[in-house]
Structures are given as structure tokens and as C-alpha cells.
Amino acid sequence: MDKVRFIYNPYSGENTIITDIDRVIMIHQKYGYEVVPYRISFEFDMSKAFEGLDETYKYILVAGGDGTIDTAVNHMKTLGIDLPIAILPVGTANDFAKFIGIPEDVEAACEQILNSVPKKLDIGKINDKYFINVASTGLFTDVSQKTDVNLKNTMGKLAYYVKGIEQLPSFRKLKIKVKSENAYFDGHMYLMLVFNGQTAGNLKFAYKAEVDDGMLDVIIIKAGMIKDMIALFIKMLRGDHLEDAAGLVYFKANKIEVECYEDIVTDIDGERGPDFPLVIECIKEGLEVLGVIAKN
């Protein structure tokens, strides 16, 4: 019988995957698959989840948010595992799963995955780490890392907003240098986002992004007058196009180099990213994914 390695994070989101495990196994058995689960936790991390894989395993099913998916992908790349991956979006942030059209309902997601063929999608790489949705730096990018795990689990997305409000007093201009083949920025900014996906916190910033174009979408919010920033964020919240928006730089690139000497960190899908300087690139068709129905 063909096998599926099922990696799940019982603490993701509102812990809903715990009540859905039986449905995951039942649906896969209906299609002739044996599900081999691995539960990740503080005691059992992701590093052991890929042991014992052989030719009988057909794909890896990961239940969690963007951070959990990122961790799985990084381990797969490090270990040279090229099996297709499938996502059950049960985390606090499920931006990438929404981008590729995976339903939030676990049963619907399993059916969609099992009735699909693998599609090669782009992934991002920042220095020696991979990311699926967005890499960022600047104000608020360390919110997730500074938010207590228990607070995340009990309050969900609200926990990020609470922590973000706490950081408002640190609102300051940040000097950064960004260069690519077709763009250059050397100045002060508040926030930089490099998207492989389209959304962050369910807000569609990178509306031009595609799943397999071999390009990353770079957005730099320049430091400026607060009134201009308010107008810009209103446009973002409304989902307006941003090409001519004052205070914002938006361009596509396959590879960018970033220098910054400020006391700030980087973030990859809610987890701590590498230190500066950065080389961020798109790995075209770098990951095979099941269940994809891209929404552009």
C-alpha cells in the first residue's frame, strides 16, 4: 500500500487538527493510502519527521501554518527529499495555502489534494533558508518572534496586533540598500516585504505575484510623512493597485541583494530569518505541490 507521511502541529491555530486526524486518515484510506503520522512539539521537532522515508511514500502532508510549512520545506531541502508536499491550512497564518487555493475545511482539502497531480511552484530563498510566502524586514517584522507561543495559541491573529501596537513607539526610519538587475533603492524605509505569495495577514499586497513566474514581488514602504503613510495603508487595505502610490516602491525581481546596518531582524513567514547582508532569490519550480488551484 502506498504511504503518506503526515506531519502535524497540534498547537497550530486553534488546535483544530486534533479533532480532524481521524477524517484525514479515513479519506486517505478511501483512496488506498496508508497514513504514517508524525506529531511535532517541543519534545519532538521536525528533524525526525523525515526518517524512514522510502519509495513506498508518495507525498508528504503537512498540517500547520506558514511557519510549519517553511520548516518542513527547509528540512526537505537540507535532506535532499524531492517528494511532493501537500498542505492542510490549520495555522494562525495560512497565506500561502490560500494563495494556491487550498480550502480551509480539512475534508475538502484532502479530497482536492488526492484528486490532483503535483504542480511545480516557485519558492523563495534568503541566504541559506527557504520560504514559501514572504520574507520581510523593518518595523513589525519581529512581532511574531516576540509574541508568546501561549498568547498565539489562545488569541490567534489578535496576539500579533497586540504585540504590534506595543511596538508603535519604536516607529523610526531605517536605512537600507536594495539592488537587483532592474531596480535600485538606497534610502530610508519603514518596511520591506519580498513575496513569493500574494498576501500577508490576509491582506493582498503582492497582487501581481504568480505561482510559477520565476520572480519575487518586492515592496518597500519608504519612510515619509505619517499622513502619506495613512493614505498608503488605506489603499493597501482596500486592495487598490499600488503602482503609482506615493511612498511605495514595487518591483519584480529574480534576485535581490540587501544591505542594512540597523538593529533590526528579518522574518520568514513568522519565524526568525538570517542576518544581513541578504541575498534573496526565487527558485523557479523549486517545489512540487499537490492540490494547487492558483488564484491570481
Q: Which residues are catalytic?
A: 271
Query: How many Å separate Cα 28 from the centre of its chain?
Result: 26
Closest to 165 measured CA to CA, from 182, 138, 147: 147
Buried b (16+ CB within 10 A) or exposed e, 212-235: eeebbbbbbbbbbeeeebeebeee
Going 281 to 285 to 287 to 293, the CA torsion angle's sign is positive
In the chain, count of helices (H) and strands (E)?
Answer: 8, 17
Select from 123, 106, 115, 71 the least CA-distant residue to 292.
115
Do residues 99 and 13 touch, judged by C-beta distance below 8 A? no
CB contact at 8 A, 85 and 76: yes
Helix (H) or strand (E) holding 232: helix 226-238
Rg (CA), the chain: 19
Using alpha carbons, list the distances in angstroms from residue 34 to 8, 58, 99, 161, 248. Answer: 16, 10, 28, 41, 50
Q: Are 117 and 293 in contact (CB under 8 A)?
A: no
